[in-house]
Homo-oligomer: A and B are copies of this chain.
């Protein structure tokens, strides 16, 4: 499993949250998407982390980003971006 972490600073928190809620089905319908969570950063109330679980890295970077769903996702949320999101991926290490 690959965890996508998108750090997003927003201009309008309630509007952004509503847009993410509307967009959740776009993620869940995408190939390899295993779930999506939204976190708000305690230290910076305009900062969010969108955490998306993908079966593979390419499910996000190739399939989702090349899809119509990605265009719709960005249309929903980008009006509330204060700056471009910073996206990274990580993989769990067995503990």
Q: Chain A interface (Cβ within 8 Å of chain B)? A: 2-3, 5, 17, 20-21, 24, 36-44, 48-49, 57, 88-93, 95
Contact = CB atoms under 8 A, between A and B. Distances in A.
Contact of A42 (B21, B44, B57): B57
Copies in the complex: 2
B39 A91 contact: yes
B88 A38 contact: no
Contact of A93 (B5, B38, B42, B89): B38
A14 B90 CA distance: 16
A64 to B, nearest CB: 15
Given A49-B90, A90-B49, A39 B95 contact: no
